[in-house]
Amino acid sequence: MKSNCRMLLAGGTSVAMLLLTTLSAFSQDNIGDVRHPLWYKAPTERTLELAKIDDLSNTVVSLGPRGEEGVLYTEIQITAEQKEKIRAGNFTAAISMGWLGDDWASQQLLGLKETFADLGIEVVAETNANWDDARQISDLDAISVLKPDLVVSIPLNTATTASAYQRLAKAGSKIVFIDQAADEMQPGKDYVSVISSDNLALGMYLADLLNDAVDGKGDVAAMFYANDFHVVNLRYIGFIARLITKYPDLQLVATAGHDNPNKGQEVAQALLARYPTLKGVYGSWSIPAMGVATAARINGKRPADFKIVNENFDQIVAAEMAANSFIAGISTQQPYTQGVTEASAGALALIGESLPSYISVPPVRVSRANLSEAYQKIYRKPLPKEMKADLAKY
C-alpha cells in the first residue's frame, strides 16, 4: 500500500530551508511516499538484518561515529588497583553539556559526578550551552584556561565545535565524547572514546512499542529532529528499519520535522489536520512528544484511539503513561549508567589504559506493564506514589 504524503515542518523562519533539505522518497511496501531529511540514509543490509532480532539487550546494533564496531558498557570495569592509581593522580575534569533541564541530562550529570567523586577526580567546570553551539564553543574555550586533565562533553554541532575540541586535545586534555564525536578528530589520538546509547536499537524498540500500542496495523506517522544530530538520526533510521523488517501492516503515511523540541504541538497540529485517521505517532523525544499529546487533546483525540511513543524516559512522559493517557511506549537510554561509563572510561585513560573507541549502552523498552520496574532501573528509586496510584486506578 502506498500513500501520497508530504513532510510537514515547523521552525519559524527555517521552514523554507528545511523543506529544501529533504531527500527523494524512500519507498518500501509499508513506507509511504514520505520525504526524509537531508541527513537520512536508508537502513543498510546489516541494520535490516539486525532489525530481525527481538531482544537487542546483548547486541550492539549501532556502529561508532567512525564506522567502528562497538563494545557493551559492561566491559568497562575499574579494578581496585586501578582505582587506587586514579585516586593518587589528583586529576581534574570538566563537563561541557549541550543542554540541561531534562531528566536525561540530569541523570547523565549525576552518574558523571558521583563516579568522579568516588574516584577522587575534582570537577573544576560544568557548563550548559542551552542548545547553542556558539555558546558551547565559548564554554570550551573557557574550560581550556583551567587546563583540566579530562573533558567529558556532548558536541551540539560536530562541525562548528570541532576546532574548540581540537584546541583542548592539543593542550593535553583527554576527551571523552557523549553520543557523538567532533569532526576531523580520531579516536586514540584526539579523543579517548565515544560512549553512547545504542540508538539504532532504541529506534527499533520504538517501532515495537508503536506496533503493540496500535494492535499491529493502521496508519502511523513519525516526527524527527530536522537538524543533523547523529544519535537522533540513528533512532529514526532504526525505527524505519524495524517497520520495514517486522511490521508490514503498519503504514508510515507521514513524517514531520521540527528544529526545536518546544514545537512538537505546532508540528502535530498540522499532522493531525492533514491525516485525521492516524492511529499513532512516533513523537521524537519527551518534550516534543508531550506537544503531540497536547495537540491530540485539542483535536479531540482519545487515548484509546491514538497512541504516542517517544525516546527519553522523563518524568513528564512517565506520568502520562501511568495515567493511561496518550504516551503508550518509551524507548529509553540509561543516562545514569552512561554517565558512570563516561567517567570510568575517562579515568582509565588518565592512567594510560587503552579504551575501545565506541562503547554502547543498550536501551530499555518501557510500557505500562513494566513502568515500575523500568523506573527503578533508570532512576534507582521506586516509582513515585502519584504514578503508582494512577497505575492502579486506570
Pick the closest to residue 350 from 186, 121, 184 (CA basis): 121
Model confidence band, residue 15 (pLDDT cutoffs 50, 70, 90): very low
User: Residue 291: pLDDT band by 50, 70, 90 thresholds?
Assistant: very high
Element (H, E) at 94: strand 92-97
CB of 35 closer than 8 Å to CB of 22: yes
Burial 147-164 (b: 16+ CB within 10 A, else e): ebbbbbbbbbbbeebbeb
Per-residue model confidence (pLDDT) at position 135:
98
pTM above 0.85, yes or no: yes
Please name which of 214, 242, 164, 198 lies closest in space to residue 333, comparing C-alpha atoms: 198
What is the pLDDT at residue 20?
30
Nearest residue to 106 (alpha-carbon basis) of 97, 115, 93? 97
Whether pLDDT at 7 is above 70: no
pLDDT tens digits, 77-128: 999 999 999 999 999 999 999 999 888 999 999 999 999 999 999 999 999 9
Q: What is the separation of C-alpha 91 from the centre of its chain, rounded to a whole number of angstroms?
A: 30
| pLDDT band, residue 299 (cuts 50/70/90) | very high
The overall average pLDDT reported for the chain is 92
Chain-centre distance of CA 218, in angstroms? 26
Query: Structural domain boundaries of the chain?
Result: 29-59+199-333+365-392, 71-198+335-361
Confidence grade of residue 26 (pLDDT, cut at 50, 70, 90): very low
11 pLDDT above the threshold of 50:
no
User: What value does the mean pLDDT take over residues 339-343?
Assistant: 99
- With a cut of 90, say whether residue 30 has pLDDT above it: no
Q: Which of 122-126, 157-161, 228-232 has the highest mean pLDDT?
A: 122-126
Cell of 379: 532512576
Mean pLDDT for 10-33 is 46
pLDDT at 56 over 50: yes
Of 225, 235, 152, 146, the residue nearest 192 (C-alpha): 152
pLDDT mean over 252-257 = 95
CATH number for the region 29-59+199-333+365-392 comes to 3.40.50.2300
pLDDT number for residue 13? 32
Percent of the chain with pLDDT over 70: 93
The yes-or-no answer to whether 29-59+199-333+365-392 and 71-198+335-361 have a common fold is yes
* Cα–Cα distance for residue pair 97/136, rounded to 1 Å: 8
Write the class of the CATH domain 71-198+335-361.
Answer: alpha beta
Confidence of residue 3 (pLDDT cuts 50, 70, 90): very low
Element (H, E) at 178: strand 174-178
Res 22 pLDDT > 90: no
Asked whether residue 18 carries a pLDDT value surpassing 50, the answer given is no
Whether the CB-CB separation of 258 and 223 falls below 8 Å is answered with yes
Which segments of 52-128 does DSSP mark as H helices, in order? 80-88, 103-119
